[in-house]
Chains A and B, each alone.
Chain A
């Protein structure tokens, strides 16, 4: 019985004018989107390789005097994500690189400067197509599933037979869903096959698993929208009413909730801007260095008062021997104090950002589209998890450079009571070839799924709740 209804529903959808239209949209847009994004990925990868090469050359040729003069900045670049061809996510919003210096790190520009106004409304990628196009088609396919059959009278004809209503509902959902899923899967396979001649490593380590998991998530997402459409159809007596309700739901899920959740989170947990934080850090550095310079100047003047004129240039003079440990101790303290306070500012800022983002993420889960978008982006290495890994790598690299490079250079700025300012330099030898390389640890698929437990739970909720509601409504649906 179920098979018969499933078959009927599948055939009815295939025979309808909607099916070839939808199939055409899938087989054109999905492979096209993937090919275009693959070309963009290749371009970004080329840029990245070139930039890393130049940065490595600059690092290898690093001169200690440039470092002392503050002319050197070490850059750490983020490699583009291979799977960004499926979900661009934060790919263009994340900084292309971070700069590391004695006073900490700062972010470089992002790729979003190259974007057009149209692209700010959503990137034309696989996930965007599913979120914006296929979700709507799924809802529309389901919109007249029950109410349309009631209006045409075929539901009465069906129910005049010895046929349980749950079998009708399940058969109709399964058949309609298959009609929706088939062109989508064909288009996805076509898209992946089209990537092969371009050298995309489809079968590289971990990639097939990620593509499969993402395809499964996409299939679940499409099913969710189909079931939501069914629920609406089983709630309304007329197909036209279903259509209006469905469009409102779609707008809410796709356009309103994701944006409102960001706004609400920003209102509840406001976070300072990068510029404000940067200014605060500059002010702190300036204050600490000025205080240190004044204290060093005072100590220097005390120790070298009455000494021979060149005593300060002679490391073996008694004054210099007394001065050196005091200077080193004060500089160490200042450096430690500066590092601790800068780290505290960064940590507070990151915590505030994390809290705001967590709230926005939690609120956005009201929309299955947001839940799917977050999951897909993390599977593709372009989501929040990639940002977290990037920042972790940056902080770790800064520490490594502090130990291996920046601590080797000592600048001694002194401000004397008479208003005179002096600067003294000293440096330990550094082998630039042995400096650590910037690297970001990729999040594994398991990590991505674990980080998205809430998104997966939200998706399952949006599958089960509308189905349960549709089931209950359809059991009592007035077929007259």
Chain B
């Protein structure tokens, strides 16, 4: 069950880069607790820009991002206390072990006093092999790094989770495991905003799916609506349609 108040909210959000490219055009979206929102779109559609704006990596041209009701631009540090982030290629410190990475990011995320066993529990939860806990991360496969990345998000225990194409390049088994973890997090009441190219995965896990094109959110469907529609066909139709005018 999703909560009525949105944890992640984009309000009339636009971003025009210095080179004049309009990457995001008046985006409005909300993600509530216990809800997974999947953003679909081609490269350059504005998915990653949206996430970058939520994380205050770039300032918006117009509009506002809210995390847990906090304006990201006005109080980014307070806002980021309530969000965790997992990128496409979870890059960690290769010379550190999984536990050392987890320890470092847990402390950054405001969890300074966790025990070794607590770190191990989180890594077990994401099905990371026990023997890998004290291995240097540079020896990890991409799937293992993604699991560790989601461990970091879990341990932060933030109410919002931003995922930037997290299943890209994962083998089917790893992607399936990843989906299961997301389902658990959703069950815990987390608001999850996930950008992805994976239409199948979006339909499987998304409570709502939005399609972005040229910076605009051109379509939004709920899980219920998608039961009677072919998401693949909708997506391809939008991609093939005429370019949007400014």
Contact = CB atoms under 8 A, between A and B. Distances in A.
A15 interface: yes
Contacts of B77: 162-164
A458 to B, nearest CB: 36
A8 B97 CA distance: 12
Interface in B27-71: 52, 55, 57-58
B57 A480 contact: yes
B71 to A, nearest CB: 14
Contacts of B162: 160
Contacts, number: 67
Nearest to A8: B104
Contacts of B57: 156, 159, 478-480
Nearest to B104: A8
Given A8-B104, A11-B96, A157 B87 contact: yes
A2 to B, nearest CB: 11
A161 interface: yes
Contacts of A159: 55, 57
A152 interface: yes
Contact of A4 (B52, B58, B93, B107): B107
Nearest to B75: A162
Interface string A447-480: 0000000000000000000000000000000111
Interface in A159-213: 159-164
Contacts of A4: 104, 107-108, 112
A152 B93 CA distance: 9
A407 interface: no
Contact of B109 (A5, A11, A153, A161): A161
Given A159-B57, A161-B105, A152 B91 contact: yes
A71 B74 CA distance: 90
Given A152-B91, A478-B58, A163 B108 contact: yes
Nearest to B152: A157
Contacts of A478: 57-58
A121 interface: no
Contact of A160 (B55, B58, B89, B100): B55
Interface string A268-309: 000000000000000000000000000000000000000000
A158 interface: yes
B95 A162 contact: no
Given A4-B107, A5-B108, A161-B110, 6 more contacts: A4-B112, A8-B93, A157-B85, A157-B90, A157-B91, A163-B77
28 contacts: A1-B107, A4-B108, A8-B93, A11-B96, A11-B100, A12-B95, A15-B96, A16-B95, A152-B91, A153-B87, A153-B90, A156-B57, A156-B85, A156-B87, A157-B92, A158-B108, A160-B84, A161-B80, A161-B108, A162-B77, A162-B78, A162-B80, A162-B109, A163-B77, A164-B77, A478-B57, A479-B57, A480-B58
Interface of A: 1, 4-5, 8, 11-12, 15-16, 152-154, 156-164, 478-480
